């Protein structure tokens, strides 16, 4: 068979694999939404995003108060802070860029088909998930096909990589729900594709640099750890071709940065994302040592001293007669909440004085889930960093235990590191560095953040790396192609990975099969 005939056959097999994968996902989207009764949303995570999309189009605001009046639309993934109107409102805690983009899609559906998320949530959600998630997967598959065709060395190896992408990763699992990880992974795939064209193929077209910068920044804007990809890839391209990187690559990244920070400020009136608002704001007044002691005694009795009222008056704020006062004795701190003024402040004892500070703890509100003593289950965090690393890599949420095809990616990466091709060695070093940096970053997060991503079917905070791991899989797949036993071993690893990815077929926001089994055994 000629090379051209071989290529045409490979493309036909790719198309068949992708069609089966996409068709299965569309079927699951339809079945998933039909099985959830009164709303088509599967978790607090995606419901938080849907609430913003609906509020933007139906109410013209980022505040989700009017949406979550219907408790079926409520979510624990929200923050509470003062808005542009001077009143406090609930907002999604998710970065708003993705919601703004999808609000445009919802607006088009609403104004062309007459369907609203409030009136027809099942229909609108199905349409948007197919357009958005299937569209992202197709873009990702197209980029991957281009790369395996350019760099693959065997028919079997190329087909194995595409089959792994179609069935063996959690990206297809999460394609039935609205989430940022698929968006980030698709962008990372395209950024890596463009970068390899520059780095390996020696191409120097400006649009490749612009596209690599734009896609890497977009990946980071949707999944913060991917900021490491933007940094390392940008540095690599800057070394390779400084002029084109600065002239074309940097502007591509800046466009995304402007959109990301701009939508954050538009939504919240702050350049900082919601998760950065977890402490008190700046001090606006101070009770000196000579009055602080008496004031502290009254505050501990849940009384607002006159000296405190006078300090607020100096700031042009008149407190109501009966503001609410919460005593936080564990850290010499008091929370003053005035529902009439609709503002909140923190009073903090610092040495011998008491500072009155603006409120900047957006996750601390009346019915918050995120306060200590309220969180439960996996959200409490894993006390042992060693245990956390174990379960992240080879345990109940393990990258290698749930999807063992990545063992072949490690083998492929080692093969590239030992190869004589310097450019591929450098590509493998980049992927290995990104992986190690992200794993170490999460292992050394504080206790409250060591939670495996909440109730989820895989360690989702590493999903954006999947496109890079797929390209590291390629040399190992080509090596297996020459050995019958290795092909069978690779097929078994892919089968196990596909089983893990298929286990939460109708809701990826569930624990993995291994976690459930360990629970059944009583080990968790």
Q: pLDDT tens digits, residue range 409-420? A: 999 999 999 999
What confidence tier does 235 reach under pLDDT thresholds 50, 70, 90? very high
Question: What average pLDDT does this structure show over 321-329?
Answer: 83
In whole angstroms, give the CA distance from residue 468 to residue 165: 11
What confidence tier does 116 reach under pLDDT thresholds 50, 70, 90? very high
> DSSP characters for 315-373?
TT----SS-EEEEEGGGTEEEEEETTTTEEEEEEEETTEEEEEE--BTT-STT-SSSTT
Q: Are 319 and 285 in contact (CB under 8 A)?
A: no
Percent of the chain with pLDDT over 70: 98
| DSSP conformational letter for 70 | S
Strands 333-338 and 353-358: unpaired
Query: String of b and e for 400-425 (b: at least 16 CB within 10 Å)?
Result: bbbbbbbbbbbbbbebbeeeeeeebe
Is pLDDT of 35 > 60? Answer: no
Task: Specify the pLDDT at position 328.
Answer: 76
- Backbone dihedral region for residue 479 (phi beyond 0: left; psi -120 to 50: alpha; all else: beta): alpha
Nearest to 122 by CA among 24, 31, 22: 31
Task: Specify the pLDDT at position 366.
Answer: 84
Task: Specify the pLDDT at position 51.
Answer: 97
What distances in angstroms separate CA 200 from CA 58, 229, 241, 454, one per listed residue? 48, 18, 13, 39
- For the ranges 32-46, 176-190, 300-314, 341-355, the lowest mean pLDDT is seen at 32-46
State the DSSP H helix or E strand holding residue 283, giving kind and residue range, or none if neither.
strand 283-287
In whole angstroms, give the CA distance from residue 125 to residue 109: 11
Cα angle 371, 269, 344 (rounded to 5 degrees) comes to: 45
Question: What average pLDDT does this structure show over 29-58?
Answer: 86
What confidence tier does 80 reach under pLDDT thresholds 50, 70, 90? very high
Phi, psi dihedral angles at 174 (to 5 degrees): -85, 0
Q: Which of 255-262's residues contact partners 24+ apart within 8 Å by CB, and which partners?
A: 255/214, 255/217, 256/214, 256/217, 256/218, 256/220, 256/221, 257/217, 257/221, 259/97, 259/221, 260/95, 260/97, 260/221
Is pLDDT of 293 > 60? Answer: yes
Give the gyration radius of the chain's Cα atoms.
26
Is pLDDT of 333 > 90? Answer: no
In whole angstroms, give the CA distance from residue 198 to residue 194: 6
| DSSP conformational letter for 454 | S
Task: Specify the pLDDT at position 373.
Answer: 75
Task: Specify the pLDDT at position 202.
Answer: 92
Percent of the chain with pLDDT over 90: 81
Contacts of 508 (CB under 8 A, 6+ apart): 42, 170, 173, 174, 176, 177, 179, 456, 457, 458
Task: Specify the pLDDT at position 1.
Answer: 67
Q: With H, G, I as helix, E, B as strand and everything else as coil, classify residue 391.
A: helix
Query: What's the whole-model pTM score?
Result: 0.94
Is pLDDT of 497 > 80? Answer: yes
Higher pLDDT, 522 or 264: 264
Report the chain's mean pLDDT, rounded to a whole number: 93
What confidence tier does 229 reach under pLDDT thresholds 50, 70, 90? very high
Task: Work out the number of other CB atoms within 10 angstroms of the CB of residue 118.
Answer: 13
Q: Is 121 exposed, middle or buried (0-12, 13-18, 19+ CB in 10 A)?
A: buried
In whole angstroms, give the CA distance from residue 114 to residue 516: 43
Task: Specify the pLDDT at position 266.
Answer: 97
Phi, psi dihedral angles at 397 (to 5 degrees): -120, 25
Provide the total of helices (H) and of strands (E) in the chain, helices listed first: 22, 7
Task: Specify the pLDDT at position 222.
Answer: 97
Question: What average pLDDT does this structure show over 182-200?
Answer: 97
Task: Specify the pLDDT at position 374.
Answer: 80
Task: Specify the pLDDT at position 346.
Answer: 92
Q: Are 161 and 470 in contact (CB under 8 A)?
A: yes
Higher pLDDT, 6 or 101: 101
Task: Specify the pLDDT at position 162.
Answer: 98
Task: Specify the pLDDT at position 195.
Answer: 97
In whole angstroms, give the CA distance from residue 172 to residue 165: 8
Is pLDDT of 331 > 70? Answer: no
Contacts of 475 (CB under 8 A, 6+ apart): 153, 412, 415, 416, 419
Is pLDDT of 152 > 60? Answer: yes
Task: Specify the pLDDT at position 378.
Answer: 82
| DSSP conformational letter for 397 | T
What confidence tier does 3 reach under pLDDT thresholds 50, 70, 90? confident
């Amino acid at each position: 068979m000629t090379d051209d005939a071989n290529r045409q056959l490979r493309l036909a097999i790719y198309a068949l694999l992708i069609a089966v994968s996409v068709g299965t996902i569309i079927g699951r989207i339809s079945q998933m939404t039909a099985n959830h009764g009164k709303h088509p949303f599967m978790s607090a995570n995606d419901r938080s995003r849907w609430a913003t999309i609906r509020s933007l189009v139906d109410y013209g605001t980022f505040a989700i108060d009017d949406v979550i009046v219907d408790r079926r639309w409520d979510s624990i993934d929200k923050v509470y802070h003062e808005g542009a109107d001077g009143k406090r409102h609930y907002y999604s805690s998710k970065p708003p860029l993705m919601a703004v983009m999808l609000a445009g899609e919802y607006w088009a559906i609403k104004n062309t088909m007459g369907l609203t998320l409030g009136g027809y949530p099942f229909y609108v959600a199905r349409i948007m998930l197919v357009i958005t998630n299937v569209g992202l997967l197709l873009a990702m598959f197209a980029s991957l096909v281009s790369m395996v065709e350019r760099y693959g060395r065997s028919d079997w190896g190329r087909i194995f990589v595409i089959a792994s992408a179609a069935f063996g990763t959690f990206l297809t699992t999460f394609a039935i729900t609205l989430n940022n990880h698929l968006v980030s992974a698709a962008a990372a795939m395209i950024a890596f594709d463009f970068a390899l064209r520059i780095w390996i193929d020696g191409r120097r077209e400006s649009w490749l640099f612009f596209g690599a910068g734009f896609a890497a920044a977009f990946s980071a804007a949707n999944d913060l750890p991917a900021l490491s990809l933007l940094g390392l890839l940008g540095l690599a391209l800057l070394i390779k071709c400084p002029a084109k990187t600065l002239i074309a690559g940097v502007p591509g990244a800046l466009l995304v940065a402007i959109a990301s920070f701009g939508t954050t400020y538009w939504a919240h009136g702050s350049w900082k994302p919601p998760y950065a608002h977890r402490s008190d704001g700046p001090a606006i007044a101070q009770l000196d040592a000579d009055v602080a002691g008496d004031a502290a005694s009254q505050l501990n009795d849940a009384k607002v001293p006159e000296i405190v009222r006078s300090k607020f008056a100096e700031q042009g704020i008149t407190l109501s007669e009966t503001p609410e006062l919460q005593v936080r004795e564990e850290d010499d701190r008091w929370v003053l909440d005035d529902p009439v003024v609709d503002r909140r402040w923190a009073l903090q004892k610092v040495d011998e004085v008491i500072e009155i500070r603006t409120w900047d703890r957006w996750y601390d509100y009346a019915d918050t889930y995120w306060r200590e003593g309220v969180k439960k289950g996996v959200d409490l965090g894993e006390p042992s960093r060693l245990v956390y690393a174990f379960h992240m890599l080879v345990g109940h949420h393990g990258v290698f235990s749930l999807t063992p095809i990545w063992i072949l990616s490690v083998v492929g990466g080692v093969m590239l590191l030992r190869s004589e091709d310097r450019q591929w060695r450098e590509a493998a070093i980049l992927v290995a560095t990104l992986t190690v940096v992200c794993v170490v970053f999460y292992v050394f997060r504080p206790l409250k953040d060591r939670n495996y991503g909440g109730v989820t079917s895989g360690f989702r905070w590493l999903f954006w790396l999947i496109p890079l791991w797929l390209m590291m899989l390629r040399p190992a797949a080509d090596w297996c192609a020459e050995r019958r036993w290795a092909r069978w071993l690779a097929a078994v690893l892919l089968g196990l990975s596909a089983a893990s990815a298929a286990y939460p077929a109708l809701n990826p926001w569930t624990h993995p099969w291994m976690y459930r089994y360990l629970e059944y055994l009583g080990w968790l």
